[in-house]
């Protein structure tokens, strides 16, 4: 008794009244939620699921993005030379192309080397040995300078194609460009799904909070009758929204963590198979913080809307 009085006095000394009002609103809403543990948990679950889904998609896209950023960026062409070109001709062509200003490097892969690489990679040894002669041509690998813009590289491809002794030009990095385009589309898709999920959450939370507001309609009515401002009447519900947001955001962060733990094994195994140094990127600290912030803001928006709707109805009567 004595201690609590002393505490109260100290609090009063240092804490302004509005802070005490907030404290009491926060505590009373928390107590109300504690009184209904199951429905509180369900609401947290609702918020958590609808935020963890877009967050996990975002994480996936970010992981794929970091994979592609490890590839060599500048375009690379493979020039398949004609049958008639022997090793000397190929070396001459290599030197000629190396002098082109856009070209950084030209590597010659003689047909024998190409064949042994192919055998090592595929293990099709018996089949290939049964062929009368090496079916592979000499190949030049042409790497462009980092700065070469997209248009140049298609022009260059045409020029390379028209060079003497070149049978076929293959843009090696085409699949990568396609993947990047695909990822760009996927990022937008994640954004759209995320926005839809956020909207869904606000609507669902809004309905839940609306029920809370209606259930405590007596309190709102009395508070307004005896001179409480709208802000005062709204405050406990904003705290209910805050608690729903904090709980849901925290639960969502845990779900994201579990999701990563579940994926990490197979994904890392896949990276190892592809001889990549890359490993699954776990969500950084900004993920849980972002989830919490988004969830809290959603909770506030939802409770604000629920209160405004109720107040408007009261005013109409």
Choose between 19 and 196: whose C-beta lies nearer to another protein.
19
CA distance 188 to 191: 5
CB 65 within 8 A of CB 197: no
Binder of another protein out of 221, 263, 301, 305 (CB under 8 A): 221
Q: How far apart are CA 27 and CA 236, in angstroms?
A: 9
Q: How far apart are CA 208 and CA 36, in angstroms?
A: 13
Among residues 58, 52, 70, the alpha carbon closest in space to that of 279 is found at 70
The minimum distance between CB 223 and another protein, in angstroms, equals 7
State which residue, 27 or 124, has the beta carbon closest to another protein: 27
Helix segments in 173-285, DSSP class H: 174-215, 217-225, 230-273
Distance from C-alpha of 193 to C-alpha of 190, rounded to nearest angstrom: 5
Tell me if 265 sits within 8 A of 65, measured CB to CB: no
Window 21 to 40, contacts with another protein (CB under 8 A): 21, 24, 32
Indicate the residue among 210 and 235 with the shorter CB distance to another protein: 235
Cβ of residue 234: shortest distance to another protein, in angstroms? Answer: 12
Retrieve residue 232's tokens: 């005062």
Q: By CB under 8 A, tell whether 82 contacts another protein.
A: no
* Position 290 contacts another protein (CB under 8 A): no
| Span near another protein by CB under 8 A; candidates 200-208, 221-229, 267-275, 299-307 | 221-229
Q: Which of 122, 154, 230, 276 binds another protein (CB under 8 A)?
A: 230
Site for another protein in 91-150 (CB under 8 A): none
Is there a contact between 43 and 207 (Cβ–Cβ < 8 Å)? Answer: no
Closest by CA position to 68, among listed 184, 152, 171: 184
CB of 250: closest distance to another protein in angstroms? Answer: 27
How is the beta sheet containing 76-81 ordered, strand by strand? 103-109, 139-144, 76-81, 166-171
Q: How far is the CB of 8 from another protein (least distance, A)?
A: 6
Site for another protein in 199-218 (CB under 8 A): 216, 218
Can residue 3 be called a binding residue for another protein (CB under 8 A)?
A: no
Considering beta carbons, is residue 32 or 64 the nearer one to another protein? 32
Kindly state whether residue 219 participates in binding another protein, applying the rule CB under 8 A.
yes
Give me the residues that bind another protein (CB under 8 A), please: 8-9, 11-12, 17-18, 20-21, 24, 32, 216, 218-219, 221-230, 232
């Amino acid at each position: 008794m004595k201690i609590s009085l002393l505490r109260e006095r100290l609090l009063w000394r240092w804490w302004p009244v509005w802070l005490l009002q907030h404290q009491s609103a926060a505590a009373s809403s928390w107590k109300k939620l504690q009184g209904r543990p199951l429905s509180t948990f369900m609401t947290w679950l609702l918020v958590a699921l609808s935020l963890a889904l877009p967050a996990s998609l975002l994480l996936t896209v970010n992981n794929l993005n970091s994979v592609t950023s490890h590839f060599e960026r500048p375009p690379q062409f493979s020039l398949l030379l004609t049958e008639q070109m022997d090793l000397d001709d190929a070396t001459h062509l290599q030197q000629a192309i190396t002098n082109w200003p856009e070209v950084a490097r030209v590597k010659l892969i003689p047909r024998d080397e190409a064949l042994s690489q192919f055998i090592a990679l595929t293990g099709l040894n018996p089949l290939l040995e049964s062929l009368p002669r090496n079916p592979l041509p000499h190949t030049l690998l042409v790497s462009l300078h980092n700065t070469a813009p997209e248009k140049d590289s298609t022009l260059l491809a045409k020029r390379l194609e028209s060079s003497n002794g070149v049978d076929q030009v293959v843009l090696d990095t085409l699949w990568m460009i396609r993947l990047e385009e695909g990822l760009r589309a996927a990022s937008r898709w994640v954004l759209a799904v995320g926005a839809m999920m956020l909207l869904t959450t606000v609507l669902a939370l809004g309905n839940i909070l609306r029920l809370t507001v209606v259930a405590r309609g007596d309190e709102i009515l009395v508070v307004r009758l005896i001179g409480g401002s709208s802000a005062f009447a709204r405050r406990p519900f904003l705290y209910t929204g805050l608690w729903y947001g904090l709980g849901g955001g925290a639960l969502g962060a845990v779900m994201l963590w579990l999701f990563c733990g579940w994926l990490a094994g197979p994904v890392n195994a896949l990276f190892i198979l592809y001889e990549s140094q890359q490993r699954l990127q776990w969500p950084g600290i900004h993920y849980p913080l972002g989830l919490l912030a988004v969830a809290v803001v959603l909770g506030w928006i939802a409770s604000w809307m629920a209160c405004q709707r109720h107040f408007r109805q009261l005013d109409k009567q």
